[in-house]
Every structure is written in structure tokens, then in C-alpha cells.
Amino acid sequence: MLKNLEKYTLILASGSPRRQQFFLDLDLKFEIRLKEIDEVYPTHLKAEEITNYLSELKANAFDGELAKNEILITSDTIVWHQNKALGKPKNETDAIAMLQSMSGQTHDVITSVTFKTDLKINTLFEITKVTFSPITDEEIAYYISKYKPLDKAGSYGIQEWIGLIAISKIEGSYTNVVGLPTEKVFNYLKTFN
């Protein structure tokens, strides 16, 4: 589909099965390269500043390793709620606390995506507003015990049971909440040269 990318190799630096599936669903040919990154950011950063920083940190770990025809793609997602970043929960207790804090509230899901070549780096981000109806402690406990959302920012997957029973409103990109703003990624790649 994207003829302009025929001379390039796309490299997705993400272990997320959801992001990998999106690339497959977009009919993009890609390979996966992973690096362990300590995802620590300066405490003064807020909202998309955090995801931009972390996405670029992941990309810059590949400095000096990219061939001329390679496009590296990294990303990071957080939930931004009550002026605080909610990343992946440390454990089930942390996951319960996150979901309780978002019950009956609206939060932002922010994803940044970085495109890096041997010559340049560019980062874009997407913000989606998600509103939860009130969720009972019993529903939260059921969700966490059955779906184990410990690998997800904010302790939930919109595409899972909790999304079916508790999300009353979404403003913006659905795929962003799953983990990648696919429309923005595809349109950026369409103009890449």
C-alpha cells in the first residue's frame, strides 16, 4: 500500500502484542527489535511531555545502530489522571487503586510515537479522553483477577471486559487507548521520504 516505503525496513521496537497486531492489521512489513530501557523520566514533566520523553529515550537507545534504509518506531502510553501519570501497575493492589481512582471520572490516554532514522528523529502524540461510569470494587476485583491487566497503562484494556461494562464515553482515537494511534502513524508513514 505505502509505495514510498518500499526502499525502507520498518523496525518496531515494542514487545506489546497489541502494537505488533496493529502493524500487521495495517499491512505493514516490519521486524521487531527490542532493548531493555529503564523507563525513568524527570519528575517535572507532565502529560505528553512524559510520553514524548520516554518514546524518544527508547529510540535513542538505538543511536549508531540504524542502517540508511531503516525506520525505527518506538512508542509510550500513559494514563494522565488528576495531574498524575498512571503507567503500568506494580502489582494487583496498585491496579485496584488506579481503577478505583478512575471510577466515575474522565482521564486522558496519551501515546507518543517516535520515528527515527540514521539522520532524523520525529515524535508525534495523541490524546484521547476516556470516561468511566462508576465501577464497584467487586467489578474491579473480578476484572483484575480474570484479565491480569498488569502490562497495561492505567491497569486496563479498553478492548477487554472492563471496556464493555464501564466505559461510558470516549473522545478521540480508540486505537490510541489500545496503545497506538494507528491513523496518525499511517498518515505519517504515507508522507515519509
Residues acting as catalytic residues: 76
Taking CA 106 as the corner, what is the angle to CA 52 and CA 88, rounded to the nearest 5 degrees?
Answer: 50
- Which of 56, 57, 54, 1 has the alpha carbon at shortest distance from 25? 1
Return d(Cα 104, Cα 168) in angstroms, integer. 9
Site of grid cell 465501577 = 135
Query: What letters, b where the CB count within 10 A reaches 16 and e where it falls short, cover 155-185?
Result: bbbbeeebbeebbeebeebbbbbbbbbbebb
How far, in Å, CA of 143 to CA of 130, rounded?
18
